């Protein structure tokens, strides 16, 4: 995955350390040294190492290191095959001087930061949101803003037609707009639930109907859906939000299959991103106080957006992509307990 030049550096985590430990170049080199290296080369190195680790411990570690080598090799082979399969074994190229990225919900949170990072690279970004962009974001010459409530579907159609007239067909659609609440199931009002479904789920469907046909015709494009870890795991007070994000997972899976088997658009990419708690205004205004009281970790927006922008720039399908990476373990455990 390409590293951003914006200076965003995520701290090392358990996954990073583990990946390094089982990397075939690391474990393979160590295993080969102990297995095949002549004694006249081994001994000087061992003399130095033995001052820190005894020979008996080193001999004990050789077998696990060899196993780690094969695990690392198989892991990378599996990742390669999975990536190729997710992209239908079809290569495609992206010319970022010509691509057009459309982002919903771009006035704050993920959308705002995504817009800025892409604009810094000179990529054309069309933004849709109810509120205006911050002056810092609006100052980029490659950024355009259209005022639109994504739950006003007639207005969405009008804005979509205007965007096509003024800019052409967007080639990357980032369905990012979303709302969050903190209300127990028995205390929710039907109108509020309907509103959340309109924003978090039905607006995705509407924007697909507007912009996906051009991608299919050209057999080129990328749909990125911003979902949540709530697609897999819910919690009290998050019933309607989790339902919308679980529905988004199903919508995305259907999209992927229809592109491949119905429309034969093998080069249209699909990615779904599933971040955990992040310090966006949406979380700050609802859950942050309760999360801090419980000591729950909250990620920085830049940490999540760096991953999303890398997915966009890769030009390849991805996901579901849980963020942080170690949350995959919790999701797997949940599926085992509640299949």
Render each residue's pLDDT in the chain as its tens digit; 339 residues: 444 433 333 444 555 555 666 677 777 777 777 777 787 777 777 677 677 777 677 667 777 777 777 777 776 777 777 777 778 778 899 999 999 999 999 999 999 999 999 999 999 999 999 999 999 999 999 999 999 999 999 999 999 999 999 999 999 999 999 999 898 999 999 999 999 999 999 999 999 999 999 999 999 999 999 999 999 988 899 899 999 999 999 999 999 999 999 999 999 999 999 999 888 988 888 888 888 888 888 899 999 999 999 999 999 998 899 998 877 776 666 655 555
Is 241 catalytic? The answer is yes
Let me know: does 259 contact 265? Beta carbons within 8 Å: yes
Distance CA 318, CA 227 (A): 13
* Set 245, 260, 292, 300: catalytic member: 245
Q: Could you tell me which CATH number the domain at 100-337 has?
A: 3.40.50.720
- pTM for this structure? 0.79
Q: What pLDDT does residue 15 have? A: 55
List, in sequence order, every residue forming a beta bridge with 275; answer none if it has no partner: 323
> Half-sphere exposure (CA, 13 Å, Cβ side) for 320?
24
Q: Within the chain, which residue ranges are assigned CATH 3.40.50.720?
A: 100-337
Q: How far apart are CA 215 and CA 172, in angstroms?
A: 9
Q: Residue 5 has which token pair?
A: 């030049």
- Lookup: tokens for 307: 């991953």
Calpha distance 91→76 (Å, rounded): 19
144 is catalytic: no
Task: Report the distance separating Cα 64 and Cα 157, nearest Å.
Answer: 59
Q: Name the E strands within the chain.
A: 100-104, 124-129, 143-147, 172-175, 221-226, 268-275, 318-323
Torsion of CA 4, 8, 13, 18, to 10 degrees: 20
List the catalytic residue out of 241, 263, 264, 326.
Answer: 241
* CB 133 within 8 Å of CB 105: no
Distance CA 304, CA 5 (A): 15
Please tell me the predicted confidence (pLDDT) of residue 330: 63
DSSP 124: E
């Amino acid at each position: 995955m390409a590293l951003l030049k914006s200076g965003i550096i995520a701290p090392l985590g358990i996954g990073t350390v583990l990946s390094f430990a089982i990397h075939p170049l690391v474990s393979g080199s160590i295993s080969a040294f102990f297995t095949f290296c002549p004694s006249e080369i081994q001994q000087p190195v061992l003399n130095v190492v033995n001052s820190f680790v005894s020979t008996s411990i080193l001999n004990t570690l050789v077998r696990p290191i060899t196993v780690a080598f094969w695990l690392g090799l198989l892991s990378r082979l599996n990742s390669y095959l999975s990536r190729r399969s997710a992209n239908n074994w079809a290569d495609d190229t992206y010319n970022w001087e010509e691509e057009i990225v459309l982002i919903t919900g771009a006035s704050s949170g993920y959308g705002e930061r995504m817009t800025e990072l892409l604009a810094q690279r000179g990529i054309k970004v069309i933004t849709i949101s109810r509120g205006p962009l911050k002056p810092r974001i609006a100052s980029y010459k490659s950024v355009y803003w259209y005022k639109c409530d994504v739950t006003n579907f007639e207005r969405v159609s009008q804005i979509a037609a205007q965007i096509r007239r003024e800019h052409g067909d967007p080639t990357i659609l980032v369905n990012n707009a979303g709302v969050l609440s903190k209300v127990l199931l028995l205390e929710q009002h039907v109108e509020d639930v309907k509103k959340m479904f309109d924003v978090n789920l039905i607006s995705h469907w509407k924007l697909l109907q507007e912009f996906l046909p051009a991608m299919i015709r050209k057999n080129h494009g990328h749909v990125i859906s911003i979902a949540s870890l709530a697609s897999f795991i819910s919690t009290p007070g998050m019933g309607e939000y989790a339902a919308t994000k679980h529905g988004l997972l199903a919508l995305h899976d259907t999209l992927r299959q229809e592109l491949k088997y119905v429309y034969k658009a093998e080069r249209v990419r699909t990615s779904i991103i599933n971040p955990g708690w992040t310090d966006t205004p949406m979380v700050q205004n609802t859950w942050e106080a309760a999360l801090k009281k419980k000591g729950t970790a909250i990620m920085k927006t830049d940490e999540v957006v760096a991953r999303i922008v890398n997915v966009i720039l890769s030009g390849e399908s991805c996901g579901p992509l849980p963020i942080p990476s170690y949350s995959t373990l919790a999701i797997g455990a949940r599926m085992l307990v509640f299949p």
